[in-house]
Amino acid sequence: MELFLGLDLGTTGVKGILVDARGSLVAVHGERLSLSTPKPAWAEQNPNEWWSATLKVLKALSNRSREIGGRIRALATSGQMHSLVVVDGEGRVLRDAILWCDQRTYVECDEATNLLGGEEQVLKIVGNPILPGFTLPKLLWLRKNEPELYKRIYKVMLPKDFINYMLTGNIATDHSDASGTTMYDVFRMRWSEELLRTLKISTEILPEILPSNGIVGKVKRELAEELDLQDVIVVAGGADNACAALGVGVIEPGDVMVSLGTSGTVVAPTDVGSYDPMGRVHFFAHTVPNMRYHMGVMLTATYSLEWFKERFLEEGYDDINDCVARTPIGSNGIIFLPYLNGERTPHRDPHARGVIFGLSSFHSKWDVVRAIFEGVTFGIRDSFEILKELGLEPKNVRITGGGSKSKVWNQMLADALGVEIQKPLVDEGASYGAAILACSGYSKLDVRKVSKEWFKLRETTRPTPENRGAYDKVYARFKELYHVLKDTFREGQV
């Protein structure tokens, strides 16, 4: 039996899956990771810990493959976007990786934006604004604050590319991950010569860009013997959100992925080279050749519910869903703004905060919980409204992530968005998309063909037309409330 291995290097762990040539899930194994926060707003991880965890995952899956008489033909990696890894000429890690969620680089963002002629010009050059989460300002921060270390940089890598390097000894990235650095020209699909020249960054420190199903190399001989991965091909892989979209068949214009996890993302492929002129949604390269996608990001989706449950609820999720389903649309007048840690789409406002608005002595805790469900739903709708402004019409909407287990939440999204919500049979996130790339790279089959053949539908949630008007009214109040409080958020920061 031919098997393909998909690895996903996330912030909290490394997950690997084994899939057969028909896309059926054979095995799953994960290892936890720790996060370092040496200063307020900083977030770092040791890449060597990623590697140690990856070795454990690969060993476990290799053993499982042998037990069932299978043979792993290829593996591909997915990884957290934007995080910065730097190595010297010997391939040694120079410092801990600065992660996607690190917020230390506001000054560098402003400086780079000004040098490039302002945000409008930046959008024209690379298709995205320069934000603290992205790779470019982290590199500029290193140059300013750790100049001696910066001089020793041989190559800049993204997390999944570091794993590929450790596996093969070869350094490369792919288009989907490169596009999240703000050093990549999304229009021409290459490193931006104009940006790099203006900011005085040498192209020599940036890796070669391969297609997401391009071959980086084979697992090094000594590793192959240790892990029983002889003649296994390592395929470039892709950024986590792009791989997650690939894994649920979101690969063409009209397809949309809603990922309802700790954070919430909306991914919509496009074959038109257009960006959001207001920079509210990202514009990145997909894992599918010559395809791009828009992505909206809300920072606290299911985390909003987890936060409230941990502090105020004793009930389990089954009881929570039952009680929310019995509470009327509009939560008896309560509105929740899900901005516990600021917000990215559509507001790009780090000062925004969570709000429970409209409380009276009449209300029960279930009105508040229903409002949390609705507030997250409206945060997702914000991204949908922007996509429509950009001319993208959702047709196939597929949901993934922990929140998709809630039938109540799925129905709420279907009603508030006015679309059918499709739930995939296999919901393994980015690791499943990575396995698709491994299969495509090994077999030379078109990525689209593999993705379409592997996708299976578990169930569909259809909208209830009579509910749409009620949600529209609450959504209008939800949007208005943020704008009323916007200045107060900024003034209230300590």
Same domain (yes/no): 254, 376: yes
Same domain (yes/no): 411, 279: yes
- Of the three residues 242, 273, 299, the one that is the final residue of a domain is 242
Average pLDDT of the chain is 95
Residue 410 pLDDT level (bands cut at 50, 70, 90): very high
Query: Are the C-beta atoms of 423 and 457 separated by less than 8 Å?
Result: yes
pLDDT at position 201: 98
Same domain (yes/no): 157, 270: no
Same domain (yes/no): 238, 149: yes
Whether residue 39 is contained in a domain is answered as yes
Residue 395 pLDDT level (bands cut at 50, 70, 90): very high
Higher pLDDT, 434 or 40: 434
Whether residue 434 is contained in a domain is answered as no
pLDDT over 70 (residue 387)? yes
- The domain of 480 spans 250-426+464-494
Determine the residue type at 127.
G
Same domain (yes/no): 133, 82: yes
Q: What is the mean pLDDT of residues 141-146?
A: 98
- Of the three residues 215, 242, 269, the one that is the final residue of a domain is 242
pLDDT at position 494: 52
Q: What is the mean pLDDT of residues 123-130?
A: 96
Helix (H/G/I), strand (E/B), else coil: 256: strand
Residue 47 has φ and ψ, to the nearest 5°, of -55, -30
Query: Are the C-beta atoms of 304 and 206 separated by less than 8 Å?
Result: no
Provide the whole-model pTM: 0.93
pLDDT at position 492: 67
Q: What percent of the chain has pLDDT over 90?
A: 92
- Of the three residues 188, 223, 242, the one that is the final residue of a domain is 242
Whether residue 445 is contained in a domain is answered as no
Whether residue 26 is contained in a domain is answered as yes
Same domain (yes/no): 228, 308: no
| Residue-wise pLDDT tens digits, 5-55 | 999 999 889 999 999 999 999 999 999 999 999 988 899 999 999 999 999
| Residue-wise pLDDT tens digits, 69-103 | 999 999 999 999 999 999 999 999 999 999 998 88
| Residue-wise pLDDT tens digits, 327-360 | 999 999 999 999 998 898 999 888 899 999 999 9
Whether residue 439 is contained in a domain is answered as no
pLDDT over 80 (residue 239)? yes
Q: Is the omega angle on the peptide bond into residue 346 within 30 degrees of 0, that is, cis?
A: yes
Query: Are the C-beta atoms of 157 and 92 separated by less than 8 Å?
Result: no
Same domain (yes/no): 233, 257: no
Same domain (yes/no): 132, 271: no
Same domain (yes/no): 190, 279: no
pLDDT over 80 (residue 153)? yes
Whether residue 454 is contained in a domain is answered as no
Which stretches does DSSP call E strand in 321-472?
335-337, 355-357, 396-400, 421-424, 457-461
pLDDT over 80 (residue 493)? no
Same domain (yes/no): 235, 272: no
To the question of whether residue 29 is assigned a binding role by annotation, the answer is no
Residue 440 pLDDT level (bands cut at 50, 70, 90): very high
CATH number at residue 279: 3.30.420.40
Same domain (yes/no): 238, 362: no
Same domain (yes/no): 171, 300: no
Number of domains in the chain: 2
To the question of whether residue 82 is assigned a binding role by annotation, the answer is yes
Whether residue 449 is contained in a domain is answered as no
Of 102, 177, 185, 240, the catalytic one is 240
pLDDT over 80 (residue 206)? yes
pLDDT at position 458: 95
472 is catalytic: no
Whether residue 34 is contained in a domain is answered as yes
